[in-house]
Amino acid sequence: MNTLTVPINERDHLRGSPDAPVVLVEYADFECPYCGAAYGVVKNLERELPDTLAVVFRQFPLVNVHPHAQLAAEAAEAAGAQGQFWRMHDVLFEHQDALAPADLIKYAAALHLDVKRFAGDLSGHAFLPKIEDDMEGGLQSGVQGTPTFFINGVLHRGGHDEASLLAAIMRVAAAAS
């Protein structure tokens, strides 16, 4: 059984209550079509289970397959430095077909970020070490592709469809109560 080797910490992006009985950690790539499909699934689960589920997102850009994935990950982290990680996360998944540098700058402006700071963070790769740390932790935990989910620290071996994730989350929630 694979488990999360890097515990959830202050560097993570968490949406929901940190005291939720179930924490879903997702390793994902903003350009991955499977992650794009899972994005909608996770959003639905968050809406359906607001008191049960918290979500942590960790970067795992598959740069050999997705040429814009790393810069998109850096854009999300740069937005996070300005308090807008989750809004940028959503925009990137909702516009997976438009992740070129000019697109990222346009999204930053639409989110009312300090665009000069954002652009500087991207050009200077300010958040590349954080992304590399996420990836290293993922590899240590057995992540082999995206999306990969851990539910309360245990690798979810089912699919990333809503029925599979919901059933696993409910099993863990029942066991935690």
Among 60, 57, 69, 77, residue whose Cα is nearest residue 127: 77
- As a whole number of angstroms, the distance between CA 117 and CA 119 comes to 6
**Confidence at residue 177, expressed as pLDDT on a 0 to 100 scale:** 78
58-80 residue pLDDT tens: 999 999 999 999 999 999 999 99
Q: How many CB atoms lie within 10 A of CB 172?
A: 21
Mean pLDDT, range 32-60, rounded to an integer: 97
**Confidence at residue 11, expressed as pLDDT on a 0 to 100 scale:** 95
**Confidence at residue 36, expressed as pLDDT on a 0 to 100 scale:** 97
Global pTM value:
0.96
**Would you place residue 176 in the very low, low, confident or very high pLDDT band (cuts 50, 70, 90)?**
confident
Residue in the structure block whose two tokens are 């949406």:
15
- Burial degree of 92 (CB within 10 A; 0-12, 13-18, 19+): buried
- As a whole number of angstroms, the distance between CA 147 and CA 124 comes to 27
Q: Which domains does the chain have, with CATH numbers?
A: 13-176 (3.40.30.10)
- Dihedral sign, CA of 59, 102, 79, 133? positive
Q: Would you state the structure tokens that stand for residue 17, as one six-digit string?
A: 């209550």
**Confidence at residue 1, expressed as pLDDT on a 0 to 100 scale:** 66
Percent of the chain with pLDDT over 90: 97
**Would you place residue 51 in the very low, low, confident or very high pLDDT band (cuts 50, 70, 90)?**
very high
- As a whole number of angstroms, the distance between CA 151 and CA 173 comes to 10
Mean pLDDT, range 19-40, rounded to an integer: 97
CB contact at 8 A, 49 and 169: yes
Q: How many CB atoms lie within 10 A of CB 75?
A: 28
113-134 residue pLDDT tens: 999 999 999 999 999 999 999 9
CB contact at 8 A, 11 and 59: no
> Interior CA angle at 112 toward 58 and 26, to 5°?
10
